[in-house]
Amino acid sequence: MKLDLLIATNGFKGTWPAIEYGAWLARTLPAKVTLLGVTEHLSPAAIDDHHPLEDVFARAVELFQQNGVEYTLEVENGHAEQIIPLKASERDFITVLGPLGRPQLRRWLMRRSIHYLMEQIKGPILYVPQACLPLKKVLICFGGLGYEVTAEHLGVQMAMRSHAEITLLHVVPPVDMEYPTTRVEREHWQSLVETDTPVGRSLREAVEFAKANGLTATAKSRQGNVVEQILAEVRTNDYELICMGSAYSASPLRQIYTPNVTAEVTDAGICPVLTARYKKEA
C-alpha cells in the first residue's frame, strides 16, 4: 500500500525545494502525491493574469512524470495557513512544506508560518528549506520522553530506502534540579547509551531497531543548550535530514513551560526536518 504525500505551494519560489524533495520521496518510498496549490490574494480583476502557480505546477508535473510518480493536482483559494491544515486533515498525509515567503514584519508580528502549521497539522510534517539530496546521513534526535518514536520510524524507513546511515542523538541539557536520573545523565553524558537510564535504554533500543532493518546506526550524546548542540552536530557532520518529535505530542500544560526545540531547529533552515507527533500505534 502506497503512502500519501501532500505537497503544498503558494507559488513562492522558496517552496520549490519541497516539491523537488517530495518527488524524490514519492519515488523512493513509494508514495502517491497530492500537489496543493493555494492562490492567495486573487482579486476578480486579476483572474486572467498569469499566476506564479502556473509555472510551479508546470515544472512539478514534468518532475513527477520524470520520476514516475502518481500524482493529482488541486488548487484552492485563500490563505495557505488556513487551507493547508484543512487539506492535511482529510487523509493520513505526510505533509511536505517549504517557506511561504512571508514578509519579515509579518513573521515578527504573527510568528512564522511553519510554527502555526506544526501546531495545526496532526500528521507528520517534512519541512524542506533546501533539498539536501542524495540522502546519506540521517540524524534522529531523542528528547528522552518518547515523543520522537513516530518520527524515528519514518526516518528509519526513509534511510532504508536510501541506504543512509543513522545517528541517534540525545543532548543532556543544563539542569538546576537534582534528581538521581539527571545526575547520572550529567555525570555520564559521554557514555549515556551504556547507562540504565530511560534515555540510555531508549537509545539502545533505537540502535537495535535500526540495525535490525539493515542500517548502520550509532548513538551519540552531547551536553549543553539543546538547540545549539543539535545544530552544531548537524553542521559538523553534514546531515541531510533531521528527525524530531513534536512538542504537540506533549500535554498543553507542558507546552507552556518548555521550549519548542523542533521549531527552533526548523527555523535554522540548515536541512529538511521531519517532525511527527507521537502515536501509540507507531
* 160 and 255 fall within a common domain: yes
* 76 and 142 fall within a common domain: no
Instruction: Label residue 101 left, alpha or beta by phi (over 0 means left) and psi (-120 to 50 means alpha).
Output: left
Pick the range with the lowest mean pLDDT from 19-33, 204-218, 241-255. Answer: 241-255
**Residue 57 lies inside a defined structural domain of this protein:** yes
* 143 and 264 fall within a common domain: yes
**Residue 11 lies inside a defined structural domain of this protein:** yes
Domain extent, residue 15, equals 3-127
Q: How confident is the model at residue 177 (pLDDT cuts 50, 70, 90)?
A: low
* 50 and 89 fall within a common domain: yes
Tell me the per-residue pLDDT of 67-122, one tens digit each, with 9 for 90 and over: 999 999 999 999 999 999 999 999 999 999 999 999 888 777 778 999 999 999 99
* 118 and 167 fall within a common domain: no
Tell me the per-residue pLDDT of 11-36, one tens digit each, with 9 for 90 and over: 999 999 999 999 999 999 999 999 99
* 215 and 184 fall within a common domain: yes
* 150 and 38 fall within a common domain: no
**Residue 121 lies inside a defined structural domain of this protein:** yes
* 194 and 141 fall within a common domain: yes
169: domain CATH number is 3.40.50.620
* Predicted TM-score of the model (pTM): 0.88
Last residue in a domain, options 127, 145, 170: 127
Residues making up the chain, counted from first to last: 282
- Cα–Cα distance between 264 and 141 in angstroms, integer? 13
Q: What angle do CA 169, 227, 9 make, to 5 degrees?
A: 100
- 87 and 125 in contact (C-beta within 8 Å)? no
- pLDDT computed for residue 21 by the predictor: 98
* 229 and 159 fall within a common domain: yes
- Cα–Cα distance between 223 and 188 in angstroms, integer? 10
Enter the DSSP assignment of 45. Answer: G
**Residue 31 lies inside a defined structural domain of this protein:** yes
* 86 and 197 fall within a common domain: no
Q: How many domains does the chain have?
A: 2
**Residue 281 lies inside a defined structural domain of this protein:** no
- 221 and 188 in contact (C-beta within 8 Å)? no
